[in-house]
Amino acid sequence: MKFKASKISTMRTWGLLLVFGGMGLMVFGTSGILLFGEIGKIIAGIFMVFGLISCAASMVIYFWVGMLSTSAPVIDCPECGKRTKMLGKTDRCMYCHTILTWDPAAATTGAPSEEQTLSHS
């Protein structure tokens, strides 16, 4: 698994980045009015549209994550004991980032013992 956080947290992070990116684009676009005068209004309009598209995409992501979150099964993390939501066959705990899975074939037995580490050296 390539995520360092749970899938729900990762998607929420992308939504937050889109909000900040969209707001940044809109602020950057309005600075075009101050810097370029009349042509700056066109630049501001273009950046305003891109910023609004980014914020709308963020809203869609937040709505989608909210819908996924309501149907996600809640389990107890075996490592930290807190209740966390799990999407798909494998996910990470929202709190301690332990890899969780429903598939016994993908499950690990934990950290390797000293004997296993020494025998591989």
Angle at Cα 7 formed by Cα 88 and Cα 108, nearest 5°?
Answer: 60
pLDDT score, position 99: 84
What is the tens place of the pLDDT at every residue in 11-32?
999 999 999 999 999 999 988 8
pTM of the model: 0.73
Amino acid 114: pLDDT: 45
Span between the terminal Cα atoms of the chain, in Å = 26
Residue spans of the domains in the chain: they are 7-106
**Tens digits of per-residue pLDDT, 36-82?**
888 888 989 999 999 999 999 999 999 999 998 888 888 888 888 88
Q: What is the pLDDT of residue 116?
A: 45
Q: Please name the residues in contact with 99: beta carbons below 8 A apart, sequence gap of 6 or more.
A: 1, 90, 91, 92, 108
pLDDT band at 109, cuts 50/70/90?
A: low
